[in-house]
């Protein structure tokens, strides 16, 4: 079950609020330490989100690579059988899928980060019934190409999300650095005033 971004953010905020309240209940009221603690934890969470998104990108790319290989095999079968229309001769599958049966139990790649290599293979029948015409092979190729185009769109969206997340992380790290510098400057000013 996938949770929405707002639900995820809500969970993070509640968790951070619990951590802050437990930190304050220990009797320590050093706000600077509290700010650094919370900001550091948020940075760790952002790094974890970034890692998961990178795994998703790798998974989609691996599935696309495997699907492109399948499309190439179908194209080879199409080119080998261009003269076989209308039942004049049997189709051959020697250079592409190697047999008609391979079309009926093709392991299609689906992105899945939890599987080895980031790809789950699902046995799929690419054409119901006997394949005896090049037009059927063309239809199979077009269907597979549509799946590949869909993965390309998914990959583009994931890449955009990754870029946005990296930009946000960069801004966050800059903000954390500025806060830590201001804390240091304030502490140095206090020490100078005490002297």
Is 77 a member of any domain? yes
Question: Is residue 87 scored above 60 in pLDDT?
Answer: no
Q: Is residue 190 part of a domain?
A: no
Q: Is 188 part of any domain?
A: no
Per-residue 3-state assignment (H helix, E strand, C coil) for 91-138: CCCCCCCCCHHHHHCEEEEEECCCCHHHEEEEEECCCCCCCCCHHHHH
- Which residue matches tokens 């509640």? 14
| Residue 49 token pair | 């989100």
DSSP assignment of 128-183 = SS---SHHHHHHHHHHHHHHHHHHHHHHHHHHHHHHHHHHHHHHHHHHHHHHHHHH
Is the Cα torsion angle 62, 123, 103, 143 positive or negative in sign?
negative
In a domain, 160, yes or no: no
Say how many domains are in the chain: 1
Q: What is the mean pLDDT of residues 57-63?
A: 90
Inside any domain, residue 181:
no
How far apart CA 37 and CA 20 sit, in angstroms, is 9
Q: Residue 86's domain spans which residues? A: 5-21+32-155
CA–CA gap between residue 50 and residue 167 (Å, rounded): 11
**Is 90 exceeded by the pLDDT of residue 117?**
no
Q: What is the CA radius of gyration of the chain?
A: 28
More confident residue, 4 or 111: 111
Cα–Cα distance measured from residue 80 to residue 167, given in angstroms and rounded to the nearest whole number: 49
In percent, how much of the chain has pLDDT > 90?
23
| Whether pLDDT at 8 is above 80 | no
Among 56-60, 159-163, 173-177, whose mean pLDDT is lowest?
A: 173-177
- What is the rounded average pLDDT of the residues 172-180? 80
Whether 109 is in a domain gets the answer: yes
Asked, for residue 56, whether it belongs to a domain, the answer is yes
CB neighbourhood size of 76 (10 A): 15
Distance CA 57, CA 65 (A): 12
Tens-place pLDDT, residues 123-169: 999 999 888 888 899 999 999 999 999 888 888 888 888 888 888 88
* Average confidence (pLDDT) over 13-22: 65
pLDDT at 84 over 60: no
Residue 9 has pLDDT above 60, yes or no: no
* pLDDT exceeds 70 at position 121: yes
Q: Among 81-90, 92-101, 145-154, which is the least confidently predicted range?
A: 81-90
Per-residue tokens: 156: 């583009």
172 lies in some domain? no
pLDDT for the residue 186: 80
């Amino acid at each position: 079950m996938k949770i929405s971004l707002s639900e995820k953010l809500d969970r993070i905020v509640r968790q951070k609020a619990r951590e802050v309240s437990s930190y304050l209940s220990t009797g320590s009221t050093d706000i600077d330490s509290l700010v650094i603690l919370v900001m550091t934890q948020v940075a760790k969470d952002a790094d974890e989100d970034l890692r998961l998104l990178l795994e998703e990108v790798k998974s989609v790319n691996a599935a696309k690579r495997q699907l492109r290989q399948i499309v190439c095999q179908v194209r080879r079968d199409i080119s080998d059988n261009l003269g076989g229309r209308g039942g004049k001769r049997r189709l051959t599958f020697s250079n592409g899928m190697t047999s008609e049966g391979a079309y009926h139990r093709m392991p299609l790649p689906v992105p899945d980060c939890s599987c080895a290599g980031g790809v789950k293979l699902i046995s799929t029948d690419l054409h119901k019934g006997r394949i005896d015409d090049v037009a059927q092979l063309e239809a199979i190729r077009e269907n597979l190409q549509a799946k590949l185009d869909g993965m390309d769109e998914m990959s583009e969206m994931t890449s955009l999300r990754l870029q946005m997340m990296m930009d946000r992380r960069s801004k966050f790290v800059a903000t954390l650095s500025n806060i830590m510098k201001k804390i240091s400057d304030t502490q140095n000013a206090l020490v100078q005033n005490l002297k």
